[in-house]
Structure 1
Amino acid sequence: MFSVQGSFLSVFAIALVAGLASPAGGALAIWLRPSTLLLSVSVGLAAGVLIGTFAFEMMPKALEVSSLPVASFGFALGFALIYGLDFYVNRGMMAGPEAQQRESVEQALKRKRPRSSNAAVLAGGTSSEELVEGVAIGVGAAADPSVALIVGLAICVDNISEAMSIGQLMLSEGKEGVRRRILGWTSLIGASLFISAMVGWFLLRGLPEAVQGFLFALGAGGMFYLTVTDVIPEAEARQFQQSSAIATGIGFLLVMVLSELT
């Protein structure tokens, strides 16, 4: 068992590294100008790591310390919260490129555009989602430091790849001061995660285990929504010879092995 002080140092380090991953990814986008192949691999790897984290760490731990109804409700609520955010920033109109409703949605968005540019919507939404992910790190550290380590690793990989994607999207928009905007947004994303992880540790670790399990499942639900609606489609859109699928499988297996070793 870790001491309280040892656990705090662990969650502080995990949250700090995961938070710094976002501006690091933004800097990579500026300096490397990553190719679509590199992005497909990095984002695909993040998707696999996140899926493995839900499957082998987050939901099993939520079920262990709470109950099936509590964990299920927490997951559903976390999913619904991030869905609601997505619905809000897109003014209640979302459709895939092959959907029959796509044309009507595009016509509606010409009259009533999303609440900001694509890059700002993505960056702002990601900052909000980081609040949920940060709480998952803090609560996970209170429940089991090894779980927090794997969750933090998953978020770190995800933050680097997402920041690279945000950076590339902002660069493609060609607006003035783009480098400053990239570093500003990605730093905000990292700060959101770090602060929420500290809040999760200091304010929520004293709660009953059942409540901690609910919060952990809530974080898993929000991260799951982000993975299936944003991370996986983004990786697949850039794939070459199914590079994203291969990277996703590697990420999934990596977390499975880590879960068995910790």
Structure 2
Amino acid sequence: MAVVLAVVSALMTLVGGIVAMRVRDHRHLVLGLVGGLILGIAAFDLVPESLELSDLSWLGVPAPMAGFACGFLLLHVIEQATAIHQAHESEYAPHRHRHGHGHAAQDPAAQDPAAQDHGNEQGKVGLVAASALVGHSFVDGLSIGLGFQSGSSVGLLVALAVIAHDFADGFNTFTAASLNRTDRGPAIALLAADAAAPVAGALITMLVEVPREVLGPYLGFFAGVLLYLAAAEILPEAHSRHPRVLTLCATGAGVLAVMFIVGIAG
């Protein structure tokens, strides 16, 4: 089951990449909903389940909550080190064009060597960022498999969280890898790798059985990772240039949907 859901996650990644090829806008409601789903899954399922699975504590702090903080901080450090956010943030900022009077608009980068060098540097950073997202998707596959080792209901909700944010991952992978590039080859190759990564991660968990006492801290760790993704990546992109009310409603709908699902399952 974990591998099947990892395949669904791979397909969602490809959908996100295809959308990135076709459009640059009109995705804010989807991203708002995704952010709400992830927030709900972290708060209503992963954190409570991690606390039930583990009685360990470090310096008086429950081990799952220490894992939660570590997951949040680790992703923040990785993002800052690899410039994931900077690599694609320009895709969500307002675009301004210079129009000449009686002349075609000119691209300053076409005439300024310094601007061209900056564009080349951005292209390299974009490839690094896309590669980091591939590694992140591999961890997503591991998380689906480990979630099912914790229990079927946990595995299903972890898979839902992964599938939901893999749309944004696929979009960002293609966008970052194609930044300041006319050749789509590297972006398509990295998108394919990003789609295959969760399947590989889920397959590995079929070969390795993780001790139950480790699963609690890990689920807390993964909840911290998800919360960072929602708060620092997905929701800011959803609100970048769009009406706030509709996007907020989509986010609230995502949170309420997870609360309902968890309540029914419980």
Range into which the TM-score falls when normalised by the shorter chain:
0.7 to 0.9
Match of residue 125 from structure 1: 132
Choose which of 249, 253, 266 in structure 2 pairs with 1:250.
Answer: 253
* Distance change in 2, residues 1:244/1:186 (3 Å): farther
Shift of 1:41: 0.9
Shift of 1:174: 5.3
Q: Secondary structure at the match of 1:242?
A: helix
Q: 1:213, 1:41 → 2: CA distance?
A: 33
Q: 2:251, 2:132 → 1: CA distance?
A: 23
Choose which of 165, 183, 191 in structure 2 pairs with 1:177.
Answer: 183
List, as ranges, runs of 4+ consecutive aligned residues in structure 1 with deviation greater than 4 Å: 113-118, 168-171
> How many percent of aligned residue pairs carry the same amino acid?
25
Alignment of 1:76-155 (within 5 A): 76-90=69-83, 117=124, 119-155=126-162
Residue type at the aligned position of 2:62 = P
Q: 1:35, 1:78 → 2: CA distance?
A: 30
Q: Deviations over 1:91-117 (max 9, x none)?
A: 9x9xx99xxxxxxxxxxxx99x97854
Q: 2:148, 2:121 → 1: CA distance?
A: 37
Between structures 1 and 2, the one with greater helix share: 1
Q: 2:203, 2:75 → 1: CA distance?
A: 21
Q: Is the 8 A contact 2:129 2:176 kept in 1?
A: no
Q: 1:222, 1:116 → 2: CA distance?
A: 26
Choose which of 10, 28, 38 in structure 2 pairs with 1:19.
Answer: 10
TM-score by length of 1: 0.77
Choose which of 50, 65, 73 in structure 1 pairs with 2:66.
Answer: 73
**Residue segments in structure 2 that go unaligned for 5+ positions in a row:** 56-60, 91-116
Q: Deviations over 1:101-134 (max 9, x none)?
A: xxxxxxxxx99x9785454344223222223322
Match of residue 23 from structure 2: 34
Q: Secondary structure at the match of 2:62?
A: helix
Q: Is the 8 A contact 1:126 1:189 kept in 2?
A: yes
Shift of 1:64: 0.8
* Distance change in 2, residues 1:75/1:241 (3 Å): closer
Shift of 1:59: 1.0
Match of residue 221 from structure 1: 224
RMSD value, Cα: 2.9
Q: 1:183, 1:153 → 2: CA distance?
A: 25
Match of residue 59 from structure 1: 47
Q: 2:168, 2:69 → 1: CA distance?
A: 26
Alignment of 1:154-233 (within 5 A): 154-168=161-175, 173=179, 175-178=181-184, 180-203=185-208, 206-233=209-236
Q: 1:194, 1:238 → 2: CA distance?
A: 34
Q: 1:129, 1:227 → 2: CA distance?
A: 14
In the alignment of these two chains, the number of paired residues is 231
